[in-house]
């Protein structure tokens, strides 16, 4: 398991925001163990978390990434990939997304590390999303 101290505040902020979009800010705050107002200030960028709060958010993030449903694991990366590819013409978008995921997977493999769970989860998520549209 990764060390929560190596996680950037931006990664934690984006992940907490995407999770609160799925359920609610209150539910995510409860899962983390902080007040909903503290989480609201954090995800809206009004504050940087104190060390204790960053630790709680980081440990929650690592737990969700490790044990959460694939959809929960893939969603923030799907949003990021959609943002990155928003200017790519629709006809090329899926092939480009597949290429990006292949390069990410190769980078981990060449570094001697297993690709993170979200890579495969994102492929499945994107495949299912294509079938429903």
Confidence of residue 77 (pLDDT cuts 50, 70, 90): confident
pLDDT tens by residue, 82-120: 999 999 999 999 999 999 999 999 999 999 999 988 899
pLDDT at 24 over 60: yes
pLDDT at 47 over 70: yes
Q: Which residue has the higher pLDDT, 78 or 132?
A: 78
pLDDT at 55 over 90: yes
Q: Which residue has the higher pLDDT, 70 or 32?
A: 32
For position 69, what pLDDT does the model report? 82
For position 39, what pLDDT does the model report? 95
Give the separation between CA 87 and CA 93, rounded to whole angstroms.
9
The domain made up of 4-67 is a member of CATH 3.40.50:
no
pLDDT at 40 over 90: yes
The C-alpha R_g of the chain, in whole angstroms, comes to 16
Any residues with CB less than 8 A from the CB of 57 and at least 6 apart, and which? 12, 16, 32, 34, 42, 49
């Amino acid at each position: 398991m990764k060390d929560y101290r190596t996680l950037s505040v931006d990664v934690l902020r984006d992940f907490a925001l995407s999770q609160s979009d799925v359920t609610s800010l209150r539910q995510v705050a409860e899962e983390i163990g902080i007040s909903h107002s503290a989480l609201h200030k954090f995800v809206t960028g009004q504050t940087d978390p104190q060390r204790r709060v960053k630790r709680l958010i980081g440990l929650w993030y690592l737990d969700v990434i490790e044990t959460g449903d694939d959809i929960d694991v893939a969603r923030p990366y799907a949003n990021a990939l959609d943002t990155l590819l928003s200017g790519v013409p629709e006809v090329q978008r899926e092939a480009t997304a597949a290429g990006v995921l292949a390069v990410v997977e190769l980078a981990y493999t060449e570094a001697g590390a297993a690709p993170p769970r979200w890579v495969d989860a994102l492929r499945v998520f994107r495949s299912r999303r294509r079938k429903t549209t």
